[in-house]
Structure 1
């Protein structure tokens, strides 16, 4: 005698479930991993908004997606996370009463000194990768709260696994090293994603916050999407040996896409590639030990509120705090 309820089918990265009628936003959706997140989400029938600072690149990415996904509903909006003043107009341009998921993917990575700052005086990578997304999420929360079960998906990085925050020098003013500062900015994002979920749960919100990372995703292993990305034959041959351990950015998008769509994914979880956390299909993995430091996460949250002049309290979650 068969059970009246059957287990859901295994997750298929090449055939994600339909999401017709849903609205998704992907920051940095005009290039890299963000582009492939947007392309894969658009194949579900959802409307996908690509948010980036260069409108021309955004339109080119939309054109590429439309050429590969018949009937794709995609559009681009201008959003410069290094300029907090651009967040309000970007959110208003969504022209929607609800948002089913936002993928916080955009990022800046500098390889060489000197240290650069945003217009507000924040170190550029920390200000863009973390503070910009922090302020954006606060502005999006009413739209997320209006959806039945919205997701905030934060794209972390393997570069954050060996880093630790210096809470007394979040802006890297005293000891700036580009690669370390980048890793710490991504670590701050991941702390934010987990702390956000704790606060959402305390507020009894229907929104869930999930943290993901793409593993090792290389351009040389990424399929061409002209004009967004063109992989030459020489690059493909050079990258071939790395394919044993790493993957392309199309596969690097898989954890974020699953976190946005799969009802089995829960808030407060960390998802990454299956094979050594570097390549393969997405799977849930244990939260890294240093990410479980709730005191550091709370201190970062308070500092982020101050640096962005953002309250981000229970009222932003569309709820009131539970009674004591």
Structure 2
């Protein structure tokens, strides 16, 4: 691997990067760091006001940054084609990377569903990105060397999936359902790369995870993030084991920019996988299960009516999604 300095990123003028959930949290810092390379950064966000606040914050730190907003609601599958069409209306001719970062973690004991009838965390964290990559495929595959960077979770490594109950209809527990949604998304990232390689595509699919990230260890970015002095002081002991969201963004940023990164790799923090500089990690356990990944792909395609597989010929037509009740 080449030497990598998180504070001195390579220039990327002329490139275009889309970050889902780029208006807050880890996604904000991915966007801020990529904006510093001279690239055009597109914040995928369903809230225009929050996106505008993030744009203002990035421009205050990166003078002249080209930061745009794309309205994107991953929980609403029917809206995603129109969102991608909006990129085309702006005459965007290339997309060098999409960072599939947006995610929701609920703490309520009550299971929630989207308008499509899908469990909210599974729909937002996994199915929405699965569908988004399908609609972005012409732009991505028309850009030589483009990348799909999937942000997973450290907690997903120790989870398992019930293929007969992917959406936790029988035994819903918020944290476990979140981890399972992230495991499904990471498996998608690895399976996508296998399909890209089989099709001879130059597009890469890379999986990352941020380790253990705390708001209280995250540097202030008003008005996007304003930790109090008390919060920061109380979090200092945790800084021995965890890190803030600025550092948590480093694996995804490296996966986007580093020319030595290869498809099918997993990148995370160097120190025990929970903090520190970005480093290459082994892919093992459930993450290395190719049969499981293929079955999750098939189930996701049935639920969305879409298939992001790179075509050898014309892209397949959209089919009707399967009702969640038939899952």
TM-score (norm 1): 0.94
From 172, 175, 196, the equivalent of 1:176 is 172
- Cα–Cα, structure 1 residues 221 and 316, in superposed 2: closer, same or farther, change >3 Å? farther
Residue 3 of structure 1 corresponds to none
How many aligned positions are there? 313
The Cα shift of 1:288 comes to: 3.0
| Candidates 15, 21, 24, aligned match of 1:28 | 21
User: Whole-Å Cα distance in 2 between the matches of residues 202 and 162 of structure 1?
Assistant: 29
Aligned to 2:115: 119
Give distance in 1, aligned partners of 2:196 and 2:105: 30
Residue aligning to 1:285 = 281
How much has 1:313 moved relative to structure 2? 3.6
Counterpart for residue 93 of structure 2: 97
The 5-angstrom pairing of residues 195-274 of structure 1 reads 195-274=191-270
Alpha-carbon contact 2:130-2:308 (below 8 Å) kept? no
Q: Distance in 2 between matches of 1:166 and 1:319?
A: 30
Unaligned runs of 5+ in 2: 317-327
Q: CA deviation at 1:315?
A: 2.2
Q: 1:159, 1:33 → 2: CA distance?
A: 16
Q: What's the RMSD between the two structures over aligned residues?
A: 1.5
Deviation at 1:15, TM superposition (A): 1.1
Instruction: Check if 1:298 corresponds to 2:294.
Output: yes
Task: Report the Cα distance in structure 2 between the residues aligned to 1:17 and 1:145, rounded to whole angstroms.
Answer: 23
Change (3 A) 1:204 1:168: same
Name segments (4+ residues, structure 1) moved above 2 Å.
311-320
The alpha-carbon deviation at position 59 of structure 1 amounts to: 0.7
Q: Does 1:138 align with 2:134?
A: yes
Is the 8 Å Cα contact of residues 142 and 317 (structure 1) preserved in structure 2?
Answer: no
Q: Give 1:146 deviation, angstroms.
A: 1.1
2:36 is the counterpart of 1:43: yes
> 1:312 Cα shift?
3.1
Determine the C-alpha separation between the residues in 1 that align with 2:33 and 2:82.
Answer: 26
SS of 1:183's equivalent? helix
1:319, CA displacement in angstroms? 8.8
Separation of aligned partners in 2, 1:316 and 1:273: 36
- Deviation, 1:314, is 3.5
CA separation of 1:107/1:318 partners in 2, compared to 1, >3 Å: closer, same or farther?
Answer: farther
Deviation at 1:133, TM superposition (A): 0.2
- Aligned match of 2:11: 18
String of CA shifts for 1:246-289, please: whole Å, max 9, x gaps.
00000000000000000100000000000000111000010132
Which TM-score applies when normalising by structure 2? Answer: 0.93
The CA distance in 1 between the partners of 2:94 and 2:79, in whole Å, is: 20
Structure 1 contact 196–209 (Cα < 8 Å) conserved: yes
1:153–1:211 Cα contact (<8 Å) kept: yes
Query: Helix, strand or coil for the counterpart of 2:158?
Result: coil
2-side partners of 1:143 and 1:234: how far apart?
Answer: 46
Change (3 A) 1:316 1:13: farther
